[in-house]
């Protein structure tokens, strides 16, 4: 009776969910240039850049299912040099994609024992951009696991017996189950969402309660032996730091307990987003869509080097553009398409991507300050999103409208990263 948290949130827009699941299933589980274990490890590296424990844990589980070497989960020092060489482009794409150059591409493709092929690199770039953007959605919608049982949303439970949302496109999938639930009851109100969360919480407590009590008893006994005081929160005893000592590997009961320290999957942790408008004069100039666009350039390149992924990505970009946001647009007294374009172009502007045919003064007219702060935080440094931001912005709007904003963030950010990476690959190929 449980739905994975990301699937549940996207389920407010079932047509988009179906498109998202098809693309992700193809990216992670169908034939492609990269081995399956490497795909999930790249996803771990990407999610770790934003300290997204939720996605890291999910892909640790999938990495092990795919037969990945458990030693790799000890950190970047324990993986093959070929994968480790991807770390630089992962870092730049995640935080300052405008710094990607053809020299970065050339370094990965140069002839050596650990060189990448063009097809492999395109697959990896799509994976990185996808997971960076998905981390924004995870934080923006409150799916990220916080300290305590179940996290803020209390919607997730990762075990080796559960179906990952990556795989929910075949047979009796989560998406089909979600469509059935959506027909049975409306999920389009915060009151009903809270009720669903309460039910999910009860199920989680019932199924995990015995294990929780066992671990709690062990922690209490260990604390007594070491003289460590056990805290109390909400009437329930808990260890002061539940993450201490956790392993990213599965325990004997088949449960993935979580990654201890995400820093082992990253290098240069202080490298983060920097306002494009404040860049040094000698850095990359403004990226003009008229010179290099997804429709005219990126789509054909990615589809040629990684068959069919371009069509699936393009469908997803178009699907989010077609979603309705009438209440949000009505508040601003404009057409839904105008409002959505304002959000999309604002996100691209933060990454230095400009549209010559757009009047950027509209952004300040269309987007309230609180919404702009929310969008920038979730887009550029999602790990700084706090538990109040999603609940506070535009309280009077339906939950589905807020999820829609996060879907726009996800797709606009992913397309921005892809544009920079694919342009650099194009320049290398010329």
Select from 255, 274, 2, 32 the least CA-distant residue to 130.
32
Q: Are 351 and 97 in contact (CB under 8 A)?
A: yes
pLDDT score for 399: 84
336-350 vs 369-380: helix crossing angle, rounded to 10: 50
How is residue 391 written in tokens?
Answer: 């609940």
pLDDT score for 339: 87
CA distance 292 to 314: 16
- Please say if the pLDDT value at position 392 is more than 90: no
| pLDDT tens profile 136-174 | 999 998 887 443 323 343 333 333 334 455 544 444 344
331 within a domain of the structure (yes/no): yes
211 within a domain of the structure (yes/no): no
Say which range, 263-267, 326-330, 342-346, has the weakest mean pLDDT: 326-330
64 within a domain of the structure (yes/no): yes
pLDDT score for 394: 66
pTM: 0.76
393 within a domain of the structure (yes/no): yes
372 CB neighbour count, 10 Å cutoff: 17
133 within a domain of the structure (yes/no): yes
In the DSSP assignment, the letter for residue 237 is: E
- Please say if the pLDDT value at position 29 is more than 60: yes
Which among 1-10, 42-51, 143-152, 212-221 has the top mean pLDDT?
42-51
Task: Cite the active site residues.
Answer: 52
157 within a domain of the structure (yes/no): no
H or E element in which residue 354 lies: strand 353-354
How is residue 227 written in tokens?
Answer: 């003289």
CA distance 60 to 281: 41
416 within a domain of the structure (yes/no): yes
Please give the sequence-ordered ranges of beta strands (E in DSSP) within 205-255, or none if there are none: 231-233, 236-238
| pLDDT tens profile 353-373 | 999 999 999 998 888 888 899
Count of domains in the chain?
1
- Please say if the pLDDT value at position 317 is more than 80: yes
338 within a domain of the structure (yes/no): yes
Range of the domain at 66: 12-145+261-429
CA distance 51 to 3: 23
């Amino acid at each position: 009776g449980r739905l994975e948290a990301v699937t549940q949130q996207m389920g407010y827009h079932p047509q988009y969910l179906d498109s998202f699941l098809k693309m992700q299933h193809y990216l992670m589980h169908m034939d492609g240039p990269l081995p399956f274990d490497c795909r999930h490890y790249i996803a771990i590296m990407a999610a770790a850049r934003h300290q997204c424990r939720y996605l890291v844990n999910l892909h640790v589980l999938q990495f092990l299912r795919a037969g990945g070497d458990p030693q790799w989960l000890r950190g970047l020092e324990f993986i093959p040099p070929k994968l480790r060489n991807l770390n630089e482009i992962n870092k730049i794409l995640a935080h300052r994609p405008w710094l990607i150059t053809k020299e970065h591409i050339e370094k990965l493709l140069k002839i050596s024992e650990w060189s990448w092929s063009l097809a492999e690199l395109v697959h990896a770039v799509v994976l990185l951009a996808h997971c960076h953007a998905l981390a924004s959605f995870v934080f923006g919608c409150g799916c990220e696991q916080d300290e305590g049982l179940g996290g803020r949303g209390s919607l997730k439970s990762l075990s080796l017996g559960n179906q990952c949302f990556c795989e929910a496109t075949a047979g009796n999938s989560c998406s089909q189950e979600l469509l059935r639930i959506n027909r049975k009851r409306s999920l389009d109100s915060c009151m009903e969402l809270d009720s669903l969360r309460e039910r999910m919480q009860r199920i989680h407590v019932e199924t995990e309660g015995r294990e929780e009590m066992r671990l709690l008893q062990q922690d209490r006994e260990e604390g007594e032996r070491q003289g460590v005081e056990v805290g109390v929160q909400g009437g329930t005893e808990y260890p002061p730091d539940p993450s201490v000592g956790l392993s990213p590997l599965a325990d004997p009961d088949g449960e993935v307990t979580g990654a201890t320290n995400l820093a082992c999957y990253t290098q240069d942790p202080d490298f983060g987003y920097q306002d494009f408008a404040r860049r040094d004069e000698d850095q990359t100039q403004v990226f003009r869509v008229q010179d290099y666009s997804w429709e005219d350039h990126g789509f054909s390149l990615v589809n040629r080097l990684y068959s069919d992924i371009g069509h699936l990505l393009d469908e997803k970009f178009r699907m989010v553009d077609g979603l309705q946001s009438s209440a949000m647009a009505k508040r601003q007294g404009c057409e839904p398409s105008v409002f959505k374009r304002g959000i999309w172009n604002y996100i691209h502007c933060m990454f230095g991507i400009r549209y010559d045919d757009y009047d950027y003064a509209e952004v300040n007219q269309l987007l309230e300050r609180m919404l702009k702060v929310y969008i920038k935080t979730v887009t550029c440094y999602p790990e700084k999103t706090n538990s109040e931001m999603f609940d506070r912005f535009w309280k009077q709007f339906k939950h589905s409208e807020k999820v829609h904003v996060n879907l726009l963030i996800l797709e606009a950010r992913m397309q921005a990263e892809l544009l920079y990476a694919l342009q650099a690959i194009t320049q290398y190929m010329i």
